Amino acid sequence: MWKYMSQEQILLVLLGNALLLVRRRLCGWKKIHTRFGLVVGPLRSTCYHKNLRNGSGCFSKRRDISISCSAGVDKDSYVPSNEKPTDSRVIYAVAPAMGHNQESHPESHLRVPSIVNALEKMELTPKFRGSAIMELREFKPASIDDIASVHTRNYVTGLEKAMDRASEQGIIFIEGSGPTYATANTFEDSLIAAGAGISLVDSVVEASKLSQNQPIGFALIRPPGHHAIPKGPMGFCVFGNVAIAARYAQRVHGLKRIFIIDFDVHHGNGTNDAFYEDPDIFFLSTHQDGSYPGTGKIDQIGQGDGEGTTLNLPLPGGSGDIAMRTVFDEVIVPCAQSFKPDIILVSAGYDAHVLDPLASLQFTTGTYYMLASNIQQLAKDLCGGRCVFFLEGGYNLDSLSHSVVDSFRAFLGEPSLALEFDNPAILYEEPLTKVKRAIEKVKHLHTL
Ligand SMILES: [Zn+2]
């Protein structure tokens, strides 16, 4: 039809289409976030313009429109002034990345909604618990500078530019990333996920100054982050959410020493690499021996100034509740005690559950309850209760949801529902001799 139109008419049609596209995508974004509890604030231009100033592609289209995702934000803090978590026990933020999805992919957009639905069903939301459980509803996406504290700017701008191609093709695969897909929403959704984690760091730090009964933060976010390496995405992960939050805690809150516990069934190679030579960030990962991505051998302990502040403990296939309780008592506790952290961040992956389809450990809901409860106590004992959990893996929607539900109950000091959720009949004997050998070796390597 173009040949029958004047240049001006063509321009108007293109402009109209562009506005329609932007409006559709904005409406989708608003709908998604309203559905899962994220409130899109009054129309204002601050964060996207500030955060995406280097960008092009789909975000640059948005510069002509005004949106905001936060309100009443202090200059140096992401916690909105009207949300002060003084008497909360749990503060969580939801970033479901509904537009980042590939059909039948295990890392799907159903994961976070299934957790949120389970929390509602089990009456573990503010609606049922008042101020004891707080949902952080207003937060900003992470800025490019936040992301670039861990990742190269080339990667960040390259991914943003790739959004145009993803927009045309619907979905793209990023080569050599093991494999990681991207849709037109991936860049935006990943900034929101990292922003949720950062905001929870603000919340727990602020609460630790005001309250004796410090709340735990839980970032119910995706895409996950612990495989993403400084120069690219990897293994379903786009930005290293926990690593970005660690750097943020140091830079903005002056917290020097960060202790990261990663109990996802896979090795958190991205976090490992980001801090391998950093003596102030202790990275402790338990994972299934031989599982993706094959890194995280027991003798990978950091190097240079960071030698000794990386601890990798590969567990033999079949390890379960007994193994992890022993690891907690004999490895995690003494390690954290001697490191003396200012905050504990947790890469909370639920794919070590016996029902998870991607691995072969035998954690149960009860194991995750124990981890949540014990890590909370560790944070109280060592660092003023400052602690944030970040969702990583977990691909069986039932075991994932139940395990997060039971983690919330642990944070509240309520009894576990593991007896209701778990089926001991499907468990088999743990390889405890091999587990003991691995624990002894790691204790020897790290002088525990
Ligand atoms: Zn995993």
d(CA 105, ligand 1 centre) in Å: 14
Compute the distance from residue 53 Cα to the ligand 1 centre, in Å.
33
Architecture in CATH for domain 36-445: 3-Layer(aba) Sandwich (3.40)
pLDDT score, position 84: 57
Please tell me which residue in 100, 227, 266, 353 is annotated as part of the active site. Answer: 227
pLDDT at res. 86: 64
Q: Write the pLDDT tens digit of every residue in 379-413.
A: 999 999 999 999 999 999 999 999 999 999 999 99
Q: Range with the lowest mean pLDDT among 179-193, 288-302, 318-332?
A: 179-193
10 Å Cβ neighbour count for 76?
8
* Residue 364 CB-density burial (10 A; 0-12 exposed, 13-18 middle, 19+ buried): buried
When the pLDDT of each residue in the chain is averaged and rounded to a whole number, the result is: 84
pLDDT above 90 coverage of the chain, percent: 74
pLDDT reported for residue 66: 24
Taking the centre of ligand 1 as the mean of its atom positions, its distance from the CA of residue 266, in whole angstroms, is 4
Taking the centre of ligand 1 as the mean of its atom positions, its distance from the CA of residue 394, in whole angstroms, is: 7
3, pLDDT greater than 60: no
Tell me how far the alpha carbon of residue 139 lies from the centroid of ligand 1, in angstroms.
26
pLDDT at 36: 47
What does the pLDDT read at residue 85?
A: 57
Q: What is the pLDDT of residues 302-316, one digit of tens each?
A: 999 999 999 999 999
User: Does pLDDT of 104 surpass 70?
Assistant: yes
C-alpha 9 – ligand 1 centre gap (Å):
52
What ranges do the domains of the chain cover? 36-445
Distance 392 CA to ligand 1 centre (A): 7
pLDDT (0 to 100) of residue 83: 52
**Greatest pairwise CA separation for the chain in angstroms:** 80
Query: Is 227 an annotated catalytic residue?
Result: yes
Give the pLDDT band of residue 9 (cuts 50, 70, 90): very low
- Distance from the alpha carbon of residue 271 to the mean position of ligand 1, in angstroms: 13
Q: Assign 63 a pLDDT band (cuts: 50, 70, 90).
A: very low
